[in-house]
Amino acid sequence: MAIRLVLADDQRARQTGIEDPAAGARGSWSRGEAADGREAVRLVRSENPDVAVMDISMPQFNGLNAALELARLCPRVRLVVLTQHDEPQYVTEALRCGVRGATSSRARRRATWCRRSKAFAAARLYLSPGVAGAVAEAYLAPQHATAALSVRRAPGAAG
């Protein structure tokens, strides 16, 4: 199955790290790259990919804001966030914004990205093992921490 992927990440090193797995995976991949959340929204709307992978921490319009907008505008697209943050509040906020996958941005190995990209496209919800462990530990903790995240919600939006 060919998977169409858009990647939004302000750090070129990560974009390059994902480029090789996409090219080497079974099936053809058409990719688009965006450097910030606004560009990601524009690109996802024009390319209509199967999966949009976005870094949470991007300048101007972060990945959570982009996910919130894309969940409304392009509900068919699987939204996934890359996070270097082990804090589960980032992941839970991403899920509230419409994201259905979260994985560590530290993953570099080709096989890891090929496997995860296929999982992103196929799963209702995908949390990489490290992210899932952090979320589960936080859930089981006596008190839950709350992050001060800058996510703009539309008036009257739930969350």
Per-residue pLDDT reduced to its tens digit, 21-50: 444 445 445 567 888 899 999 999 999 988
Least Cα distance to 53 among 93, 88, 4 occurs for 4
How far apart are alpha carbons 62 and 140 in whole angstroms?
A: 28
Residue 154 lies in a domain: no
Question: How does pLDDT run across 67-126, given as a tens digit for each residue?
Answer: 999 999 999 999 998 887 667 888 888 988 999 988 877 665 545 555 667 777 777 888
Residue 80 lies in a domain: yes
* Token digits of residue 109: 């190995």
How far apart are alpha carbons 126 and 91 in whole angstroms?
A: 11
Number of domains observed in the structure of the chain: 1
Least Cα distance to 157 among 82, 91, 97 occurs for 97
pTM: 0.74
Residue 25 lies in a domain: yes
> Sign of the C-alpha dihedral, residues 104, 105, 109, 115?
positive
Domain that holds residue 41: 5-140
